[in-house]
Amino acid sequence: MTRGYFITFEGGEGAGKSTQVRILAERLKGAGAEVVATREPGGSSGAEAIRALLVTGDPDRWSAVSETLLMYAARRDHIERTIRPALERGAWVISDRFADSSRAYQGAGGGVSPDFLAAMETHVLEQTRPDLTLVLDLPVEQGLQRAGHRGGPEARFEAKGLAFHQRLRDAFLAIAQAEPARCAVIDALAPRDAVSEAIWAAVSARLPVGAAA
């Protein structure tokens, strides 16, 4: 059985990742692929339980190190129970966030050392790494304005302030610049359909979409 492909979506709040994950998943399904669309934190029963601890409550509920440990506990369960089994059976996995979000949120945003995060990646991710990462980029103010319209209780990270979110944006762009073979930056300010087409062009150029059937 041929291993499947692993695509991750990254970016700041309000970038439209969840919507674009759904659109790409449907397009790949239309090409005949088995697709598993998932998210972080979450994506498995254990990880979803941890998600509730991470995305609700006061912005200062956790220290950045505690937050990192919770994120990676959730990520390991997600990998073991959802991502790795799907890839092993040949499915395409599309995740709304993955390890780059920890580099940005807990690292650049929270001040956790790159060495600590690298060690977590080594021991928790092992060989489960994205084949392609799509970074949806837009100015922080517009992203937070969009995110504010969503409402709901899962707003802990959105409440961390403008400077925090600017560090996130800078971090995601720096990751994309450092790893151009893996990452593609998509202009998330464009209309939804234009963003979808840019994503499809990036996926088609880098992965064997024609072989999905």
Encode pLDDT of 107-127 as tens digits: 999 999 999 999 999 999 999
Q: Domains of the chain by range and CATH?
A: 6-211 (3.40.50.300)
The overall average pLDDT reported for the chain is 93
How far is it, in rounded angstroms, from Cα 64 to Cα 70?
10
Encode pLDDT of 65-75 as tens digits: 999 999 999 99
Determine contact, residues 46/34, Cβ cutoff 8 Å. no
Q: In what order do the strands lie in the sheet with 35-39?
A: 35-39, 92-96, 6-11, 132-137, 183-187
Answer yes or no: is pLDDT of 95 > 80: yes
Please give the pLDDT value at position 213. 46
Please give the pLDDT value at position 1. 60
Answer yes or no: is pLDDT of 151 > 90: no
Answer yes or no: is pLDDT of 131 > 80: yes
Looking at residues 137-161, what average pLDDT do you find? 78
Please give the pLDDT value at position 13. 87
pTM over 0.85: yes
How far is it, in rounded angstroms, from Cα 6 to Cα 162?
31
